[in-house]
Structure 1
Amino acid sequence: MTRSARRTRRTRRMLQVAGAGAAALLALSACSSSDSDSGSDSAKTGSSDSSSPKLSGEVTVFAAASLKESFTTLGKEFEKAHPGTKVTFSFGGSDALAASITGGAPADVFASASPKTMKIVTDAGDASGAPATFVRNQLEIATLPGNPHKVSSLKDLTNSDLKVVLCDKAVPCGAAAQKALDASKLKLTPVSYEEDVKAALNKVVLKEADAAVVYKTDVKAAGDKVEGVEFPESADAINDYPIAQLKDSKNAEAAKAFIALVRSADGQKVLTGAGFLKP
């Protein structure tokens, strides 16, 4: 073999070795990049999962009496969607509930029948964040089944032969009724003022009164136990309903989730189905 041929063969061998080494380095680099991307994806997935903690424990909701039926339904839906949770309600006049909260009663959520009563809580610094209006409600006259006294207007309630009850003026339904009466320049002397809208309605259900000024939602919830009579002045006394998480909530994540349900499309469907107006 000539010196020139040996030199050519040696050169080819060196090129083959160099090519093999480069291929190996490329393969290692590709594996490293793939492993890195995979790890990054795993980290992203893990962080996404950890951002939605499982809810558990009790959620205490103070809510206006007129919300009883719809909130009870939403409470059951919430517990079904979040096994391990329990929603406990305290329904009543918004003013009494607000006083309880500012007095230190433990609760996670407050749903009021008026901004005025919610303001009692926010002014005391007991709300966490700004309240949000989630529904509205309008007044209606509840009469005995069949409307035997032929009540057809707010003015008819001034008839001295009728036993009429109103909500106390301190609670939202009473304040709204007074606003409607003032707008109509009517004076009405009820046989009693009741502590909340359910108590006023119950007087008619028990036939202890001939009529009561309550919310449309309460008339609807009572079914055939009463008959509803609309009156135009009610349009001047529509109440906004605000909801807020409370500052001293012991189950903040669940409280936020319950409020989210109330304001969601599913929550609004339940509420409008009960007769509430959209915010």
Structure 2
Amino acid sequence: MTRSARRTRRMLQVAGLGAAAAIALSACSSSGDSSAKSDASPKSNSAASASPKLSGTVTVFAAASLKESFTKLGHEFEQQHPGTKVTFNFGGSDALAASITSGAPADVFAAASPKTMGVVTDHKDAVGTPATFVRNQLEIATLPGNPDKISSLKDLTKPGLKVVLCDKTVPCGAAAQKALEASKLKLTPVSYEQDVKGALNKVELKEADAAVVYKTDVKSAGNKVEGVEFPESTKAINDYPIALLKHAPNPEASKAFMALVQSAEGQKVLNEAGFLKP
């Protein structure tokens, strides 16, 4: 091989090595950029999808018949959202509505009838349209063992029988009156109670022989009372609406609590308590 040929061969070898090095550097650079983008992308998506952490107190005004179910859901909500607390004011829906329209601080109102919710919405104290989340049906609560052999709504009119009703202004009382009117019956109770728990309590304490309450209340009382169904109750089923209040101190957490109530998990708790699906 001539000197000129050898020099040409060496020049080609050097050029080949340089090209290979350039390709390798380019590959490393491309790999590094891809990795950087890959690392940055999840962080960006995570930040975008992260929801704000809920905290603070949610104050719920709720019908007395919701006491057991809502208390359970309140504990569940607090476990799901550490740093939150759910407080309740249970009572007659009419009294709760009056408190709200008078300026009582509350986040959520869950009423036992559209009529009592209407007091709040008419006063422009609710946000949006209230949603019906459950329904409830009446039942007769008697003393354990049903010693008076009560088997119908008509039996409550027996002379000497001490019967308690909810006040007519309370949803359970209005429903009872509707059932009595449907049956063309007149009943004079020994007392009218301000909420359904008050009526039930009279039977539990044996201060009354029977009371017209909700199925859910009979169920929650366990063996303290005995329940008697009556067909007229189907004509007086109450829808339960829930709403976020206009001046809610903690609206975000309140919306989350309402979402739990209306979720499959919340509905399961309410159905197990005896409430009917909306």
TM over 0.5: yes
1:227-262 residue CA offsets vs partner (Å, 9 max, x unmatched): 211100101111111222222211222212222222
Q: Distance in 2 between matches of 1:81 and 1:45?
A: 20
Aligned to 1:101: 100
Which one-letter code corresponds to 2:17 in the other structure?
Q
Aligned to 2:26: 25
Shift of 1:4: 4.9
1:195-254 residue CA offsets vs partner (Å, 9 max, x unmatched): 111111122223332221110111122222222111001011111112222222112222
1:122 aligns with 2:121: yes
Which one-letter code corresponds to 1:83 in the other structure?
P
Shift of 1:151: 1.4
Which one-letter code corresponds to 2:27 in the other structure?
L
Which one-letter code corresponds to 1:26 in the other structure?
A
1:158-212 residue CA offsets vs partner (Å, 9 max, x unmatched): 2232222211111110111111112212222222222111111122223332221
Shift of 1:145: 2.4
TM-align CA RMSD: 1.9
Aligned-partner SS, 1:116: helix
Which one-letter code corresponds to 2:73 in the other structure?
L
Number of residue pairs matched?
277
TM-score (norm: length of structure 1):
0.91
Q: Distance in 2 between matches of 1:113 and 1:207?
A: 26
Aligned to 1:56: 55
Bigger Cα displacement from structure 2, 250-259 vs 105-114: 250-259
Q: Percent identity?
A: 72
Aligned-partner SS, 1:61: strand
Aligned to 1:176: 175
Bigger Cα displacement from structure 2, 235-244 vs 219-228: 219-228
1:109-152 residue CA offsets vs partner (Å, 9 max, x unmatched): 11111122122222322222332222211100112222222211
Shift of 1:12: 4.2
1:8-64 residue CA offsets vs partner (Å, 9 max, x unmatched): 54244334323322331232122112211211122112333x32x333221111000
Aligned to 2:236: 237
Q: Structure 1: any 5+ residue segments left out of the alignment?
A: none
Q: Distance in 2 between matches of 1:41 and 1:85?
A: 29
Q: Distance in 2 between matches of 1:276 and 1:134?
A: 10
Bigger Cα displacement from structure 2, 259-268 vs 178-187: 259-268
Which one-letter code corresponds to 1:44 in the other structure?
N
Aligned to 1:45: 46
Q: Distance in 2 between matches of 1:138 and 1:38?
A: 57
Shift of 1:69: 1.5
Aligned-partner SS, 1:214: strand
Evaluate the alpha carbon distance shift between residue 4 and residue 41 of structure 1 in structure 2; reply closer, same or farther with a 3 A threshold. same
Which one-letter code corresponds to 1:10 in the other structure?
M
Q: Distance in 2 between matches of 1:199 and 1:215?
A: 12
Which one-letter code corresponds to 1:68 in the other structure?
K
TM-score (norm: length of structure 2):
0.91
Q: Structure 2: any 5+ residue segments left out of the alignment?
A: none
Aligned to 1:77: 76
Aligned-partner SS, 2:67: helix
Q: Distance in 1 between matches of 2:256 and 2:103?
A: 23
